[in-house]
Structure 1
Amino acid sequence: MCLIFYFFIWLPSDTHAEVFKIPLYKLAPVKSVDLRCVSAEYGIKIPIPERWKIEKAILTFNYVNSTGLLPGKSRIVIKISNYPVAQINMSPIIPEGSAKLSLPVLLLKPGYNDLSFNVSQHYTMDCEQPCAPDLWTTLKLDQASLEIEYSLKPVPLKLSSIPEFLFDPKISPHGEVNIILENTSPEMVTLASIAASGIARKFDYRKVLFTVSEYIKPGYDNILVGNKDFVQRFFLGNGLDAPKIEGPLLKIMHLPKEKTADSTAASDPNHALLVISGINSDHTKLAAETLAIMSSPFPDTAEMVAMEFTLPDIPMYGGRLIISHDKKYTFKTLSLSSHTFKGINPSARDIVFRLPADFLIKPNLFADISLSFSYGAAFRSDSALNISLNGKYLRGIHLDNPDGAIIEGYKISIPTYLFKPGTNVLKFEPVLTPLIYGKCENIQTENLFLTLFDISTFYLPPMPHFVDLPKLELFMLNGFPITRWPDGHESMIYLANPDINTINAALNLIGIVTQKNGYPLFDVQFTYDNPKNFNGELLIIGDITSVPENLKKITPLNLTKQTTVPYPVVRSWADEFSMAYSKQISNIGPGRGAIMEFQSPYADGRSAVLFTATSTKDILSLSEVLMEPSVQAKIEGDLSLIDLDTETEDYKVITFNIGKKYFSGKSGKVSKLDLYLYTYPWLYYASVAVVIIFLSLAFFYLLVRYRKKRLKIEEKK
């Protein structure tokens, strides 16, 4: 099984070791699992970061088995990385059981470790049906946990440790980084955002919390960002030797502690201080950008001087797993290497890719798949290769040749309306059945194989960039429209109240967007003034009282003193609400955050996304709550209200679609012709009909004229 989400609970420990209790249902996408047939397996990935030294690991789980199982012949085997660590016999007399196991820590190595539950279950000593209804066991993952006790290893003083040790996505429960700045001017916050974006990208999908301060935050990794004078003053003020700065500098060292009585500074070897500096702001920015792109373990020195920074040509709408239209991709390019499916029920394989958020997916186009595959001999006639897209089955390929076959260029056309903006999953799932299959028969499965070759191709036809907005779900998809250019070009973040909470919230949102799109936001600008002359995409962050009046008046939920509040009245079959509107003097209360999207008042076709609450403290809480995948999945429309005060993970999200519609094209602006043809598609068909009628009449007129002319010639003869 794939690892989807993680959730960890911190428990205090009397020793120097840290203790985490990991609910297993947070490591898997389900709360219970049924294991059926004579043998079955369920696996979970356990992340162990390089930074941890495991001291102890305890696995606890509950299960229920069928009362029809044969005692002494039915058992659960628990394995770590395919190594058996425990066996539990199942009893039909006591069908419910629990287990608490101490796992060998030597088997829990840095990386993603396979924890698997394997069952062998039978109902008779004689020959039996392999998948009889009585053969089942249920694992209660919502009542299972893995408790890990660990200590931190010292941080290697090598810059190569940054991507794989310091900012490891396997670190749990989340990453926490403090950024030390001389001041909170827009220029310094912009530098901090570049560093934060690069760090969030290294953490991959693991959520990471950022804070900004003027001092070292003990117990956390810290990043010192500033020009030469500030950095040297900071070092001297903490009793340290100032580094020699002659250019864009990137340096790693152990985190300094408070000065001792003899004015020397001790250090915390388990946490790091990264220094990003330079002689001037351009040098410091170059060092921050270099940190952001470091994705491989190099260099092995403790410091480096960045001489130059060159990015590849990143096209508009690039990003994580994004595919381009009108281009043919091999399966190997899409990360599906040649794979052989074996056995009666082999595991499916899939291709995961993403489409740009503003693709106008037309219903009369088709994506083409060309498959190359081979399969074995002596299959039963109902064997097939099933193909599905986003959970919907599209096609089954009949494997009907009893002698087996090698097939190249098998064509499949998929209507493009089955695709969706954002993540799409194309899955291949064979159903292989042996020719001889019956009670007490010797079932041969070695001939059951199907190999899908990676020279198979996928082609997406050309599709225009055109979307009706606002749609907050697109922002949650990959940060659109901020990420129309992957590096945030033509985008600006406006902090209406630039206090520490708001800046921290902005860096958290930068991290969320970066992880969604997979590319550092190098070109996003920060401002503290109302950007009236900016004609790009806007991200506005501020408490309600700090938002300018000209913006309050055009938000979907008016934030002026007299507020217009929508109330859903009737829900139609089209899943649309009829709204009643109440004008009242009220506002959003404490403990609730709001996200709104509307057309920028400063440029047609451009968007403004507003994050607001009654206080900047609630705005910071809003940015942290938005890191939860369950919250992101609920946000849509042009207004989302999120309850922040909750003791459970089930955050309540209320969404509306009440604001004015607008349209956005590839560069934001949309021509009047495109706007009318998209809004009123009947105009297109009416225009085509008029053209056909006109051509028909013209052709008829020419025929009549030609006939009259020919008749006159014949009369003269």
Structure 2
Amino acid sequence: MKRPVFYLATPCLVLMLLLGTAVHATAQHSLSIPLTEFSIVGKPLLQGKAADFRVSIPTPQRWNVTSANLRFPYVNSTGLLGDRSRLIVRFNDQVLAQVELLPESPEGLVTVPIPTTLLKPRFNELQFAVAQDYDGQCTDPGNPTLWTHVSVERAFLDVSYTLKPVPMFLSSIADFLFDPKQFNENRVHLVVPDYSPEMMNLASIAASGTSLRFEFRQVKFTLSQDLRQGMDNILIGDKLFVAGVLDQYERTPPQNDFGIMPLPGPAPVMPEDENNQEQTELRRFVDDHTRAIIVLSGEDINGVTSSTKAFSVLSFPLPDISSSDPGSVIIPEITRETGKNLITPGQKYTLDQLGMPSHTFTDMYPIPENMTVRLPSDALLPGNLFARLALHLAYGTQMRQDSVINIHLNGRFIAGVPLSNPQGGRYGGYQIHIPMYYFRPGLNTFTFEPVLTPLITDLCTFIQLKNLFVTIFDDSTLSFPELDHWVEMPELALFMEDGFPFTSWPDWRENAIVVPPNDPLSSAAAVNIVAMTSQKTGIAPYRVQFLNEPPQQPLDILVVSPYPDISPQIMQATPMAPRLAYPWQGVLQGSKEQSLYWWNRIMADIFPERPRSVPQPSVHAEAIEELVMNSDKLLLTQSLSPYAPMRTLMVATARSPEALLQGANAMSNPLLQGQARGSVVLADITDLEFGVRSQHAGERYFVGDLGSFRWFTYIVNTYPFWFFGTLMVILTLTAFVIRRLLRTRLKAKEQE
């Protein structure tokens, strides 16, 4: 007798639903991450009697870490005493391991299990410390024999984890979903009703809002018209579209326009009953509670825009509710000087405002402290203007007179502050004047590196180290002079720095992004590029403008398209134009020798001259097209726009939409960003370490805004021979005219 299908199917359905939920909840993920991917404070070469360095290890709140192991190799000096020298590994101040530093086996490979109970949902501190000795008696703490090197380049952190269920509150977007402590590959899928320019504008704002919440972590975005499993989704569109997408999965939209919900997906198919030949396959949907959908909707395009902008704004915390109606969203005023860590010329800042709180250094060789500021990419940095650093600091007593704080800018020594009073001292405003040409456009890093020496360092004498203190207070100031905006283009290094010239207004006004119509992969590539630059500036592209054809207005233009789809008019204006001269690879680009005559030195003081390249032999190249079309290479070009003066045309292209999307994701890789410069970059997507080639080709031009006197200075510096030649001609003609007038007047008087 056949059993009823109902009784057979019901337990299977229950089991299927339970298994479907369990599969998502218990999926195991494993990562092996090099320590160089994390923030390292200090030097892995541990020198002296005692030294240490630290690594900041993030643990996301979203992860349930099941196991963690640290693997690292090391090399120690063969002059150490093994029974008195140790390498200690600490995690959040808990000692995990200690290793004898034996001279007879100076190399080793260590594996250290990290208890998961020590992994807190924050940035955890991993510390490598050494205690080193070489004679067992009177050890000189600075003896060069005392060293141990931890090879962080070959050290790895192995982590296994599962994902926790996502709290279905809007507040979880910032501190749970898009958490910068997630150091795995972060992917987010954007669901849109179509690939029209209007929807791409909103997709780029949503993607930028996501990247901003991830802060410095790369995020890879994809685009389609349906949900994608295995990642978080952002559903953008009016209520009719959102309801249609969710109805396919038997789900209803959130109550309000801006909401969060679990990601639905197909459940496992119930197995057929061999005894029931008439049974049909039953298919249902289950929620993946470890993934989420963020819904950005509205009655019309204006409502969708409001929800998208509300999602992208970081200035207020999101509420502990599952959905909300954002209403109207007012974006604060955005100026050219608005941006993350961006310096406004002519302003003074305290170190606290620049992200460096008061800091006390101790011991002989304390870990240096860094401070990063960002100058506008188009800032003109002349040699006759100075930034001023005014340090407020105090230092301890009984230190030797050669104690000092060394100050570096971008890795170059610029000044030293003497700590020479054995009675201790304090500086209320120690002035350091820094020529502006020491800086560079974009990010600049100050490094404060004290060297503190005890007063008594005799052999076999107790050396007191506990009095070695120096504090730099956060009310110290850094001020900048007024600067003009003027920069030589094309220069792709500036785009990699912070998106310049497209982010000269950080909300992407006065720009246009041209993509092929109805091409989801090329559109996704453009969205990834915009999100990458917004992450650098700290501002979402609220006024971005996507188009399918080049604009006729005076705008900077970014073309993101497969190579075969680029119009001939665009191609003719790029360095890909036929018969364009390319410099010979490896030819040195020198600068013209400066004369040492006294009048040249005076003119150099009045008009500080910028180096001018010496013209070099060139070769005509027409082979780049073949390289792009026959391999997975990304081509980036910059040139003067054919549609308006002082405007830039940039092209990002590859042989296919798939390769273009891969190339756009590769643009976030530091290996590519560090090598990109000039007007042409050809990058092998599969080998960014050795496969990036940069070149200057085509005409140079300038963008920016100079005052009248600065224009005069620029003309003298850039075209000195033409300027002084023209001036001599004018003076000669003036003298000739005056002479003729005087002679005419003199003859007239003689005739009288």
TM-score normalised per structure 2: 0.84
Q: Retained in 1: the 8 A contact 2:579–2:620?
A: no
Q: Structure 2: how far apart are the matches of 1:217 and 1:488?
A: 29
* Structure 1 stretches lacking a partner, 5+ long: 1-12, 695-717
- Where does residue 128 of structure 2 map in the other structure? 117
Tell me if 1:655 matches 2:666: no
- SS of the residue aligned with 1:223? strand
1:586-635 CA distance string (max 9 Å, x none): 63332112100011111111111100122222211211211210111100
Q: Structure 2: how far apart are the matches of 1:590 and 1:14?
A: 41
Tell me if 1:506 matches 2:515: no
Task: Give the alignment of 1:282-293 within 5 angstroms.
Answer: 282-293=302-313
- 1:679, distance to aligned residue in structure 2 (A): 2.8
Q: Structure 1: how far apart are the matches of 2:181 and 2:162?
A: 15
Q: Structure 2: how far apart are the matches of 1:342 and 1:243?
A: 55
Q: Retained in 1: the 8 A contact 2:41–2:54?
A: no
Tell me if 1:545 matches 2:564: yes
Q: Retained in 2: the 8 A contact 1:238–1:265?
A: yes
Q: Structure 1: how far apart are the matches of 2:518 and 2:660?
A: 12
Q: Retained in 2: the 8 A contact 1:340–1:450?
A: yes
- Where does residue 255 of structure 1 map in the other structure? 263
- SS of the residue aligned with 1:142? helix
Q: Structure 2: how far apart are the matches of 1:176 and 1:633?
A: 24
Q: Retained in 2: the 8 A contact 1:644–1:651?
A: no
Q: Structure 2: how far apart are the matches of 1:15 and 1:40?
A: 42
**Match for residue 595 of structure 1 among 608, 613, 636:** 636
Q: Structure 2: how far apart are the matches of 1:499 and 1:686?
A: 55
More strand by share: 1
- 1:25, distance to aligned residue in structure 2 (A): 3.4
Task: Give the alignment of 1:550-699 within 5 angstroms.
Answer: 550-558=569-577, 564=580, 566=582, 568=584, 571-572=587-588, 574=590, 577-582=616-621, 587=626, 588=628, 589-646=630-687, 650-666=689-705, 676-677=715-716, 679-681=718-720
- 1:68, distance to aligned residue in structure 2 (A): 2.1
Task: Give the alignment of 1:117-266 within 5 angstroms.
Answer: 117-245=128-256, 249-258=257-266, 265-266=285-286
1:101-131 CA distance string (max 9 Å, x none): 2211111111221111111121222121112
- 1:219, distance to aligned residue in structure 2 (A): 1.0
- 1:572, distance to aligned residue in structure 2 (A): 3.0
- 1:295, distance to aligned residue in structure 2 (A): 5.7
Tell me if 1:422 matches 2:463: no
Tell me if 1:300 matches 2:320: yes
* Structure 2 stretches lacking a partner, 5+ long: 1-23, 270-280, 592-612, 734-752
Tell me if 1:320 matches 2:359: no
Q: Retained in 2: the 8 A contact 1:539–1:608?
A: yes
1:508-551 CA distance string (max 9 Å, x none): 111211112121111111011232x2211111011222111111
- Where does residue 6 of structure 1 map in the other structure? none
Tell me if 1:375 matches 2:416: no
Relative to structure 1, is the Cα distance of residues 29 and 637 closer, same or farther in structure 2, using a 3 angstrom cutoff? farther
- Where does residue 93 of structure 1 map in the other structure? 104
Q: Retained in 1: the 8 A contact 2:50–2:129?
A: yes
Tell me if 1:359 matches 2:379: yes
Q: Structure 1: how far apart are the matches of 2:467 and 2:732?
A: 63
1:189-228 CA distance string (max 9 Å, x none): 1111110111011111111111111111111101111011
- SS of the residue aligned with 1:467? strand
- Where does residue 711 of structure 1 map in the other structure? none
- SS of the residue aligned with 1:69? coil
Relative to structure 1, is the Cα distance of residues 50 and 584 closer, same or farther in structure 2, using a 3 angstrom cutoff? closer
Tell me if 1:524 matches 2:565: no
1:499 partner amino acid: D
- Where does residue 737 of structure 2 map in the other structure? none
- 1:450, distance to aligned residue in structure 2 (A): 1.6
Relative to structure 1, is the Cα distance of residues 238 and 525 closer, same or farther in structure 2, using a 3 angstrom cutoff? same
Q: Structure 2: how far apart are the matches of 1:38 and 1:505?
A: 52
Task: Give the alignment of 1:361-510 within 5 angstroms.
Answer: 361-496=381-516, 498-510=518-530
- Where does residue 707 of structure 1 map in the other structure? none
1:337 partner amino acid: P
Relative to structure 1, is the Cα distance of residues 692 and 74 closer, same or farther in structure 2, using a 3 angstrom cutoff? farther
Q: Retained in 1: the 8 A contact 2:522–2:661?
A: yes
- SS of the residue aligned with 1:45? strand
- Where does residue 273 of structure 2 map in the other structure? none
Relative to structure 1, is the Cα distance of residues 51 and 692 closer, same or farther in structure 2, using a 3 angstrom cutoff? farther
- 1:671, distance to aligned residue in structure 2 (A): 11
- Please say which of residues 282-291 and 178-187 is displaced more in the overlay: 178-187
Q: Retained in 2: the 8 A contact 1:385–1:431?
A: yes
Relative to structure 1, is the Cα distance of residues 658 and 232 closer, same or farther in structure 2, using a 3 angstrom cutoff? same
- 1:692, distance to aligned residue in structure 2 (A): 12
- 1:28, distance to aligned residue in structure 2 (A): 5.7
2:260 partner amino acid: I
- Where does residue 742 of structure 2 map in the other structure? none
2:76 partner amino acid: N
- 1:351, distance to aligned residue in structure 2 (A): 2.1
Relative to structure 1, is the Cα distance of residues 433 and 614 closer, same or farther in structure 2, using a 3 angstrom cutoff? same
Relative to structure 1, is the Cα distance of residues 496 and 667 closer, same or farther in structure 2, using a 3 angstrom cutoff? farther
- Where does residue 55 of structure 1 map in the other structure? 66
Q: Retained in 2: the 8 A contact 1:30–1:141?
A: no
Q: Structure 2: how far apart are the matches of 1:302 and 1:242?
A: 11
TM-score normalised per structure 1: 0.88
- SS of the residue aligned with 1:189? helix
1:224 partner amino acid: L
Q: Retained in 2: the 8 A contact 1:328–1:457?
A: yes
Q: Retained in 2: the 8 A contact 1:596–1:639?
A: yes
Identity of aligned residues (%): 34
- 1:669, distance to aligned residue in structure 2 (A): 14
Q: Structure 1: how far apart are the matches of 2:173 and 2:475?
A: 36
Aligned Cα root-mean-square deviation (Å) = 3.0
- Where does residue 701 of structure 1 map in the other structure? none
Q: Retained in 1: the 8 A contact 2:402–2:453?
A: yes
Q: Retained in 1: the 8 A contact 2:238–2:300?
A: yes
- SS of the residue aligned with 1:25? helix
- 1:238, distance to aligned residue in structure 2 (A): 2.1
Q: Structure 1: how far apart are the matches of 2:514 and 2:39?
A: 38
Q: Retained in 2: the 8 A contact 1:569–1:580?
A: no
**Match for residue 515 of structure 1 among 532, 535, 539:** 535
Q: Retained in 1: the 8 A contact 2:554–2:647?
A: yes
- 1:407, distance to aligned residue in structure 2 (A): 2.1
Q: Retained in 1: the 8 A contact 2:583–2:697?
A: no
- SS of the residue aligned with 1:553? helix
- Please say which of residues 332-341 and 261-270 is displaced more in the overlay: 261-270
